[in-house]
């Protein structure tokens, strides 16, 4: 027959088992709490506000921060993220990054004008030179034609005064002076033609060069804007790094707190579990002696 | 009481030639109203001209035609050949005329002009292909043999295909041939390349159109002449002179003369120091005043201007002229009118005119002076020389008429008693004297036969030596005259038939009467 001692022993054993079980259960609660604190949603015990775990906080804090770089001439470079896209499985895919270079109106106009000019230059550089040669030649001839006409009239007057206007010779065609003048004028004519051809070719090269120059100049505002990105990106990166560090520090601190809390709870659970086990063990030991 | 006869001597009458321009009364007795078939001889007397001594013995090829032009060709070897044209033929020779017309070459006009140039003779006439003759087998002219050829057919000939460019005037000067006066172009002159009369294109050949040079706006080239490195271009009414013609490509206008031109190409004669030509107003010449840069023109026929103009305007055929330094005359013949004016070029009168005489009815149709000085004359009889005192064995009439003589006082009545002419030559010739009073209101005549009545030492042997075997016949016959009048003119005529004759002086014996 169970003795009171037996009963006491049995009670003690039961109490020990109960304590051990509580310690075991507390360990599970602690793990659950740790999970909730790190990654799951938690209720702020102070404010009662519900919030995500540390991971959510960190995720939120480490979210991309859009920024804009604005140059002194008014152009800007903006970097932002498109809204996330909810996938069929319910997850949300992060939005794509969006980079936007925007020139100021003046620079935009400058850019457009230069590009249009460059286009015109390239178009001109692609056209055959024959028409231009003729145009240049005509202008050159128009410039010297009055002088040519004066020389012709002077010779005509001279020949007339000498009564030689009607001279025709097999050797010279007309008079020797007439041949000399015609030869000089034809040389000037040929020289002008050659000059016009050379000029037209060189002009075409210049047009191509100008087109290139204008094209390069047209992209200059953009280059300048891109040039301005580096300092801007550096600033943003520094900011991001600072945020990252802050967030890291926050996470680590937060995790350390949780770790301490969990360690404490683990200790408590261990104690309860150990005590209960001892009690049960002691109780069970006297019972079976 | 009988009144004394007044003796008036007309010394060397007509020594100044014909003068039909001045008033008869105001004239110097040294002029003549008429001086036909006369020249001024070497002693300054009026004398009968020489005659035409025809040397042609066979003129079959000429037929009834006339020798229209004569030219003596002498090649570089000194061979001489006389060419002439007539009866639509090119003729050579002087005694027997030979037809030299190229085969299949048709001629219907005889207005050829011939020039010697670079060992060839060239024949040019408007509208006819030019011809050439040379005696050189080969050479720059490209000719062969010794026949007259069409110029365009000789080797290397060029520029001779256009029949409208067959000029009427041709000039050989400054190493080239020059031609002008075409059928349809009266203002252009063409010249050949140097020393090649057959190359009218290529080389240094050329042309000049002077249509814009004429001082009067328009004219037509009639003749060309070369003088003192000048090319003288005669228009009908103006003259254009180019200097530096030795290089025609650069020759320049030196002078122009408006209002005076040349009537005909064949009246132009170069005298060495001058160029004579017939203008519409008479015989003209260029003075040699190149240094003064001007070409003054003097009239050389000022004493017979009206006669020249009258003859000129009625001339229907052609003009011919010749300058003959040996005879000291320039002959100008109006062929259609059959009148020749003879200008003595030894000196000029006070008014700048040459002393002029007239040769009517000679039948002379062309002239050329040969290198030896012989003057050849063409006529219907062929070719003859200017020599002797017969025209083709016939006589011709020498005539002198004085101007109206007033003997210093036309108001006094003159009773002519005697005329006593001093005449050299003309032995046994009949002289017809005619004296007229008061501008032919009355006249009378007498005929004398020249016989010697003067003491002469000629033909007399002195000291038994026949030193003077011949002498000039001199006669001083008296002619008794009648009538009276205020003024008097004396006419003397004689047929020259083999004897020369000159009038030295006329001594007039007259009685001066009352005042009229």
More confident residue, B322 or A99: B322
Signed CA dihedral, B480, B483, B485, B487: sign only: negative
Q: How many separate domains does chain B show?
A: 1
Examine the pLDDT at A222 and tell me if it is beyond 60: yes
Do B248 and A160 make contact, defined as CB atoms within 8 angstroms? no
Q: Which residues of B touch A166 (CB under 8 A)?
A: 187-188, 207-213
Pick the residue of A162, A174, A176, A178 with the most B CBs within 10 A to test the interface with B by mutation: A162
User: Is position B437 within any domain?
Assistant: yes
Nearest to A170 among B203, B208, B212 (CB): B203
pTM for the predicted model, two decimal places: 0.75
Quick check: is B14 in a domain?
A: yes
Contact B314, B305 (CB under 8 A): no
Contact A170 B188 (CB under 8 A): no
More confident residue, B385 or A289: B385
Is the dihedral angle over the CA atoms B278, B281, B284, B290 positive or is it negative? negative
Residue of chain A whose alpha carbon sits nearest to that of B207: A168
In a domain, B418, yes or no: yes
Identify all chain A residues contacting B207, using CB atoms and an 8 Å cutoff.
166-169
Rounded-to-10 torsion of CA B249, B254, B256, B257: -130
A165 close to B (CB below 8 A): yes
- Name the minimum distance, in Å, from the CA of B254 to any CA of chain A: 7
A139 band by pLDDT with thresholds 50, 70 and 90: very high
Residue A67, pLDDT above cutoff 50: yes
Instruction: Find the residue in B nearest to A167 (Cα).
Output: B208
Structure tokens at A147: 């002088």
**Between A176-218 and A130-161, two packed helices, what is the crossing angle to 10 degrees?**
150
pLDDT-derived band at A282 (thresholds 50, 70, 90) equals: confident
| Closest by Cβ to A169, choosing from B211, B249, B252 | B249
- Show me where the domains of chain A are located: 4-64+228-287, 67-84+92-106, 107-227
Task: Give the per-residue pLDDT at B298.
Answer: 63
Q: Is residue B156 part of a domain?
A: no
B187–A176 C-beta distance less than 8 A: no
Give the span between the Cα atoms of B48 and A267, in whole angstroms.
186
- What is the rounded CA–CA span in Å between residue B147 and residue B126? 22
A180 close to B (CB below 8 A): no
- Cβ atoms of A118 and A211 within 8 Å: the answer is yes
Return the residue matching tokens 């200008």. Answer: B343
Q: Is A4 on the interface with B (CB under 8 A)?
A: no
Q: Which pLDDT belongs to residue A74? A: 87
Query: Quick one: pLDDT band at residue A202, thresholds 50, 70, 90?
Result: very high
State residue A93's pLDDT score. 83
Looking at chain B, which residue has its C-alpha nearest residue A175? B249
Question: Which residue numbers in chain B have pLDDT < 50?
Answer: 137-139, 141-142, 288-294, 454-455, 465-469
Does residue B428 form part of some domain? yes
Domain assignment of residue B19, yes or no: yes
Taking any CB pair shorter than 8 Å as contact, residues of chain B touching chain A are 187-188, 193, 201-213, 240, 242, 248-253, 256
First to last CA, chain B: 21
Q: Are the beta carbons of A16 and A244 closer than 8 angstroms?
A: no
User: Distance from B205 to chain A by nearest Cα, in Å?
Assistant: 6
Q: Which domain holds residue B24?
A: 6-48+399-515
Q: How far apart are CA B205 and CA B199, in angstroms?
A: 8
> Predicted confidence band at A228 (pLDDT cuts at 50, 70, 90)?
confident
Say yes or no to pLDDT of A12 above 70: yes
Whole-angstrom distance, CA of residue B62 vs CA of residue B81: 17
Q: For residue A165, give how far its alpha carbon lies from the nearest alpha carbon of chain B (Å).
A: 7
- Whether residue B453 lies inside any domain: the answer is yes
Q: Do B209 and A166 touch (CB under 8 A)?
A: yes
- Which positions ≥6 away from A247 have C-beta within 8 Å? A58, A61, A62
Question: Quick one: pLDDT at residue B460?
Answer: 53
By Cβ distance, the residue of B201, B208, B252 closest to A166 is B208
* pLDDT at site B312: 94
Q: Kindly identify which residue of chain A lies nearest to residue B213, measuring between CA atoms.
A: A163
CA distance linking residue B262 with residue A219, whole number of Å: 89
Q: How many helices (H) and strands (E) does chain A have?
A: 6, 8
Which stretch of A70-79, A263-272, B33-42, B52-61 has the lowest confidence by average pLDDT?
Answer: A263-272
> What is the reported pLDDT for B290?
36
Interface check for A167 against chain B (CB to CB < 8 A): the answer is: yes
Q: Domain holding B478: CATH number?
A: 2.60.120
B203 CB neighbours in chain A (<8 A) are 170-171
Contacts (Cβ under 8 Å, ≥6 apart) of A139: none
Q: Tell me if B283 is assigned to some domain.
A: no
- Coil, helix or strand for A48? coil
Instruction: Identify the residue among B203, B206, B209, B211 best suited for mutation to test binding to A, counting A beta carbons within 10 A and taking the highest.
Output: B206
- For residue B211, give the chain A residue with the closest CA: A166
- E-assigned strand segments in B45-107: 46-48, 52-54, 69-74, 80-86, 89-92, 98-99
Q: Nearest CA to CA, how far is A123 from chain B (Å)?
A: 54
- Beta-carbon separation of B210 and A163 below 8 A: yes
Q: Is the ipTM of this complex over 0.95?
A: no
Contact B207 A166 (CB under 8 A): yes
Contact between A163 and B253 using a beta-carbon 8 Å cutoff: yes
Widest CA span of chain A, in angstroms?
Answer: 174
| Residue pointed to by tokens 């037809």 | B99
């Amino acid at each position: 027959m169970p003795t009171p001692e037996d009963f006491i022993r049995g009670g003690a054993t039961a109490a020990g088992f109960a304590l051990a079980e509580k310690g075991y259960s507390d360990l599970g609660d602690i793990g659950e709490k740790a999970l909730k604190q790190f990654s799951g949603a938690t209720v702020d015990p102070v404010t009662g506000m519900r919030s995500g775990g540390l991971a959510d906080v960190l995720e939120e804090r480490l979210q991309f921060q859009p920024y804009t770089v604005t140059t002194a001439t008014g152009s800007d470079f903006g970097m932002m993220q498109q809204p996330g896209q909810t996938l069929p499985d319910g997850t949300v895919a992060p939005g794509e990054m969006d980079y936007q270079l925007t020139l100021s109106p003046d620079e935009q106009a400058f850019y457009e004008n230069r590009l249009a000019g460059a286009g015109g230059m390239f178009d001109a550089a692609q056209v055959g030179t024959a028409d231009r040669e003729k145009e240049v030649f005509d202008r050159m001839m128009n410039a010297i034609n009055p002088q040519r006409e004066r020389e012709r009239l002077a010779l005509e007057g001279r020949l007339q005064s000498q009564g030689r206007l009607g001279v025709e010779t097999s050797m010279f065609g007309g008079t020797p002076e007439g041949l000399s003048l015609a030869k000089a004028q034809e040389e000037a004519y040929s020289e002008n033609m050659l000059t016009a051809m050379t000029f037209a070719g060189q002009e075409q090269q210049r047009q191509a060069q100008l087109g290139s120059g204008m094209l390069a100049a047209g992209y200059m505002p953009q280059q300048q804007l891109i040039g301005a990105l580096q300092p801007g990106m550096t600033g943003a990166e520094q900011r991001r790094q600072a945020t990252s560090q802050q967030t890291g520090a926050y996470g680590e601190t937060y995790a350390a707190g949780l770790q301490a809390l969990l360690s404490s709870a683990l200790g408590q659970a261990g104690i309860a579990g150990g005590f209960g086990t001892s009690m049960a063990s002691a109780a069970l030991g006297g019972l079976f002696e | 009481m009988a009144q004394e006869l007044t003796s008036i001597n007309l010394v060397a009458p007509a020594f100044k030639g014909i003068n039909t321009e001045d008033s008869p009364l105001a004239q110097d007795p040294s002029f003549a109203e008429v001086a036909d078939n006369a020249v001024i001889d070497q002693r300054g007397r009026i004398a009968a001209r020489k005659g035409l001594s025809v040397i042609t013995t066979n003129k079959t090829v000429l037929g009834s035609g006339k020798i229209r032009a004569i030219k003596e060709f002498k090649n570089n070897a000194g061979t001489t050949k006389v060419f002439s044209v007539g009866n639509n033929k090119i003729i050579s020779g002087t005694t027997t005329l030979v037809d030299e017309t190229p085969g299949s070459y048709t001629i219907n006009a005889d207005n050829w002009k011939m020039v010697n140039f670079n060992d060839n003779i060239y024949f040019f006439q408007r509208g006819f292909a030019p011809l050439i003759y040379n005696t050189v087998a080969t050479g720059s002219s490209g000719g062969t043999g010794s026949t007259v050829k069409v110029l365009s057919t000789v080797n290397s000939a060029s520029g001779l295909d256009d029949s409208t460019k067959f000029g009427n005037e041709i000039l050989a000067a400054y190493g080239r041939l020059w031609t002008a006066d075409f059928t349809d172009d009266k203002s252009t002159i063409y010249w050949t390349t140097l020393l090649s009369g057959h190359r009218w294109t290529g080389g240094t050949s050329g042309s000049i159109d002077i249509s814009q040079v004429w001082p009067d706006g328009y004219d037509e080239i009639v003749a060309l002449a070369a003088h003192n490195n000048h090319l003288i271009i005669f228009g009908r009414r103006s003259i254009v002179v180019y200097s530096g013609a030795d290089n025609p490509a650069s020759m320049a206008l030196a002078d122009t003369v408006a209002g005076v031109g040349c009537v005909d190409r064949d009246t132009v004669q170069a005298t060495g120091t001058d160029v004579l030509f017939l203008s519409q107003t008479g015989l003209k010449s260029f003075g040699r005043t190149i240094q003064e840069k001007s070409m003054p023109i003097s009239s050389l026929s000022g004493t017979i201007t009206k006669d020249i103009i009258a003859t000129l305007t009625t001339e229907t055929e052609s003009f011919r002229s010749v300058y003959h330094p040996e005879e000291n005359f320039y002959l100008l013949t109006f062929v259609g009118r059959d009148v020749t004016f003879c200008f003595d070029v030894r000196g000029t009168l006070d008014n700048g005119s040459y002393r002029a005489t007239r040769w009517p009815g000679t039948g002379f149709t062309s002239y050329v002076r040969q290198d030896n000085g012989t003057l050849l004359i063409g006529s219907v009889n062929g070719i003859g020389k200017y020599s002797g005192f017969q025209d083709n064995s016939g006589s011709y009439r020498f005539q002198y008429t004085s101007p109206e003589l007033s003997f210093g006082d036309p108001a006094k009545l003159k009773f002519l008693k005697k005329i006593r002419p001093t005449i050299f030559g003309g032995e046994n010739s009949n002289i017809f004297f005619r004296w007229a009073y008061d501008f032919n209101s009355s006249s009378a005549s007498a005929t004398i036969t020249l016989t010697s009545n003067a003491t002469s030492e000629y033909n007399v042997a002195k000291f038994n030596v026949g030193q003077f075997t011949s002498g000039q016949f001199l006669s001083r016959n008296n002619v008794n005259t009648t009538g009276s009048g205020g003024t008097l003119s004396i006419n003397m005529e004689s047929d020259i038939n083999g004897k020369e004759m000159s009038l030295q002086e006329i001594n007039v014996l007259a009685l001066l009467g009352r005042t009229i």
